[in-house]
Amino acid sequence: MKEIRGNVIVGQSGGPTAVINSSLVGVYKTAKDRGANIVYGMLHGIQGLLENRVVDLSGHIKSDLDIELLKRTPSSYLGSCRYKLPEIQEDQEIYKKIFKILDDMEIEYFFYIGGNDSMDTIKKLSDYSILNGSRIRFMGVPKTIDNDLAATDHTPGYGSAAKYIGSITKEVIRDGLVYDQQSVTMIEIMGRNAGWLTGAAALAKCEDCEGPDMIFLPEIPFNIEDFMKKVAKLHERKKSVVVAISEGIRVEDGRYVCELTDNVDYVDAFGHRQLTGAARFLAGRIARDTGCKTRAIEFSSLQRCASHMVSRVDITEAYQVGGAAVKAAFEGETGKMVILKRISDDPYICVTDIYDVHKIANIEKKVPREWINEEGDYVTEAFLSYIRPLIQAELTPIMADGLPRHLYCQDHRNE
Amino acid sequence: MKEIRGNVIVGQSGGPTAVINSSLVGVYKTAKDRGANIVYGMLHGIQGLLENRVVDLSGHIKSDLDIELLKRTPSSYLGSCRYKLPEIQEDQEIYKKIFKILDDMEIEYFFYIGGNDSMDTIKKLSDYSILNGSRIRFMGVPKTIDNDLAATDHTPGYGSAAKYIGSITKEVIRDGLVYDQQSVTMIEIMGRNAGWLTGAAALAKCEDCEGPDMIFLPEIPFNIEDFMKKVAKLHERKKSVVVAISEGIRVEDGRYVCELTDNVDYVDAFGHRQLTGAARFLAGRIARDTGCKTRAIEFSSLQRCASHMVSRVDITEAYQVGGAAVKAAFEGETGKMVILKRISDDPYICVTDIYDVHKIANIEKKVPREWINEEGDYVTEAFLSYIRPLIQAELTPIMADGLPRHLYCQDHRNE
């Protein structure tokens, strides 16, 4: 007989991934299967919770088909937020408000699916809970395409983004071969400080594709003059040159390459300039200096929302970390995040564990120097051995009338 | 018993599509099945032919698996060119050279897979052939993502590009809903003068997606002040606004919107500015004027090379037009292009026919005014009824080690 449990609440926070909803399903299904009473969802994370914007998920996930659709639905089904809680000692009012809301809903278990900043939320809420004798348990469920979370081997969301980047990099390289003329294609990939996503472009290198010619990660300072010389050298032996760069590459003095542009189009009313345009800047520089045909391609937000091309390994693990969080919380854990521990690369074996969220929050994991070649313009075979198992197998979209079908959230209105 | 025929040559020209190689397979297989002796492929179209860069396709397409891989390989397998033949009366030398090469190879049938400019090549070569008593027959095989060829109901390549645009527009719209704040996402879609591709963004509007809020085609002059007002009006009732524009939209005085930018990054050594950036320009304008969060997404060359998301209807028709061209040429036709004639929308029935290439070459078919709404900011239901049958069903990629596998052309080296 199932033990009867109290109520559960789950939220999604930070930037979305293509598989973040698979973790939502993992939390929901596991909680229900293990006897949870009501499983609530916060609309737009903690920000929505503060406005009492919550839904009963059983009204949303009503069938096995709903579950399959939700797994294939990109972006955060419940909506997301970027909301940073104050330090507990600075302002207790907001904590009192949150716990009042949770108590009124008779919540016993709180799950937050997110990255670094979201784990900071879990850390603070669980600390406050312990300090104030609350029974509510707080667990973090890892998620980020950036793969920059500490303690875990990798993060759900990364494998699918990497698979997408590898796949379309192959297509872009093939497209670059079409004309018999010198050209440079600059591909700009997400990742402000960590090059995990940009390095995934190296996956394109296989029997039927040369792969990109150079890959520049934000971990290594970028030298524009060296880069120009390397492109010229490549052009001595091949016509179509393809280079993958991270949006976050910086020159030696610390300025982002995308900040070197004269382009003032993209400055908002507060003077904020969006940090995109490094590929465009470098493509322009090559075109001006050499007359060579260039193009700049930004993979843009498609990297995090291409649910039509996800890794089955990733979507399965995303589900598993959701389930493992519920299991751990129901067994009494709090203030922890689920992590993935790799047992072996080949065969790929990976299990879940839990880890103190205090040692995870606000820490950014970068690509190790030894996984980047000495020249600083490619990733090594060790990097590829790490990433390859994460992109394996597919979860085919459910197509309706020629397009991938998603689960539509009625309560998550755009108004 | 198969009749024994002479030699065949086939080339690919102009911008690639995701299904152009399906037409190549259609020509090759049909020619072989109908008794062709050698089927040659020109590397980089007529430009490669002039340098005697040809291959025997039987050395490339060696198995049924090769055929299936080739159908799923993006970009022109044989390479492409943008090469315009002079008028016959202006310069006969180049024609003499081409026919000398073709005669030396004992070519009897010449197929060219391409768009407007390529049909101009077929027109001139067949005219020259007739004027000079050559027996060689010249047939055009239609191909362009732009869908701007006259006489044919639509062009192979368009359906897959439309399916890709519809699919990722859905994903981008979903991604735009993630934060609970006002935002504008500007999507820039290919199409200099014709809005066929941009209109395909409307496919995203279905049960599980609101679709884009506005769609601007190059057929209608674009008014920036009106546009700004419309965005403000949309923001009165919804937070996340998504707008699809063609790269080729122009203001009333004829200047491209992307030319209004101050951005001088992207000017090459000859002073040529690439005509991209309309979305970026408008996103910047909105951000500056309203302080609203904006982003610009260029679908870029992925529209023409996303072989991982093709329409089965399209890939089948691409094969069929290749086969129909061979059949017609073997029956004695020359100076014609294969066209698609739609018999009905529902059920979708479409057959091939042939049409005088003189009435096709150099003509650009635009979206009819009545398929754009009165306001000029969306396409009509008639447009959607036209396009929907073209995006139906899929051709799943053949995956190897987590990525789509393509057929690699050994002779089409990048050097």
Number of inter-chain CB pairs under 8 A, A vs B? 260
pLDDT tens for each residue of A91-112: 999 999 999 999 999 999 999 9
pLDDT band at B415 (very low <50, low <70, confident <90, very high): confident
Q: Give, rounded to a whole angstrom, the gap between the first and last alpha carbons of chain B.
A: 44
In a 3-state reduction of DSSP, which class is residue A240?
Answer: strand
Tell me whether residue B163 is exposed, middle or buried, using C-beta atoms within 10 angstroms of its C-beta: 0 to 12, 13 to 18, 19 or more.
buried
Question: Which residues from chain B sit within 8 angstroms of residue A405, using beta carbons?
Answer: 208
What's residue B271's pLDDT? 54
Q: Above pLDDT 90, what percent of chain A?
A: 90
pLDDT tens for each residue of A134-170: 999 999 999 999 999 999 999 999 999 999 999 999 9
Q: Which residue of A has its CA nearest to B207?
A: A408
Q: Which residue of A has its CA nearest to B72?
A: A171
Task: Label the pairing between strands B403-404 and B399-400.
Answer: antiparallel
What's residue B263's pLDDT? 56
Q: Which residue of A has its CA nearest to B278?
A: A265
Q: What's at B336, amino acid-wise? A: K
- DSSP letter string, A384-398: HHHHGGGG-SB----
Strand order in the sheet with B183-189: B214-216, B240-246, B183-189, B293-298
- A407 at B interface, C-beta within 8 A: yes
Cis peptide before A389 (omega within 30 of 0): no
CB-CB: which of B261, B267, B406 is closest to A208?
A: B406
Residue B326, φ and ψ in degrees, nearest 5 = -65, -45
Q: How far is A135 from chain B (nearest CA, A)?
A: 30
Could you give the CA distance from residue A199 to residue A158 in angstroms, rounded to a whole number? Answer: 12
| B75 Rama class: left (phi>0) / alpha (psi -120 to 50) / beta | left
User: Could A283 and B266 be called an inter-chain contact, meaning their C-beta atoms sit closer than 8 Å?
Assistant: yes
Interface predicted TM-score (ipTM) of this complex, two decimals: 0.96
Domains and CATH numbers, chain B: 7-144+308-362+396-402 (3.40.50.450), 158-305 (3.40.50.460)
Active site residue A103: no
User: Could B305 and A180 be called an inter-chain contact, meaning their C-beta atoms sit closer than 8 Å?
Assistant: no
CB-CB: which of B174, B293, B302 is closest to A75?
A: B174
Res B194 pLDDT > 80: yes
- A76 at B interface, C-beta within 8 A: yes
Could you give the CA distance from residue B193 to residue B84 in angstroms, rounded to a whole number? Answer: 20
Could you give the CA distance from residue B92 to residue B90 in angstroms, rounded to a whole number? Answer: 7
pLDDT tens for each residue of A260-311: 876 555 555 555 556 788 999 999 999 999 999 999 999 999 999 999 999 9
- B304 at A interface, C-beta within 8 A: yes
Compute the C-alpha angle A157/A305/B304, nearest 5°. 125
User: Could B74 and A174 be called an inter-chain contact, meaning their C-beta atoms sit closer than 8 Å?
Assistant: yes
Q: Which residues contact A64 (CB under 8 A, 6 or more apart)?
A: none
Could you give the CA distance from residue A244 to residue A227 in angstroms, rounded to a whole number? Answer: 12
- B283 at A interface, C-beta within 8 A: yes
Lowest mean pLDDT of A268-272, A369-373, A375-379, B229-233, name the range: A268-272
pLDDT tens for each residue of B105-127: 999 999 999 999 999 999 999 99
Could you give the CA distance from residue B247 to residue B304 in angstroms, rounded to a whole number? Answer: 15
Entry pTM: 0.97
Question: Which residues from chain B sit within 8 angstroms of residue A311, using beta carbons?
Answer: 402
Could you give the CA distance from residue A372 to residue B305 in angstroms, rounded to a whole number? Answer: 29
Beta bridge partners of B256: B250
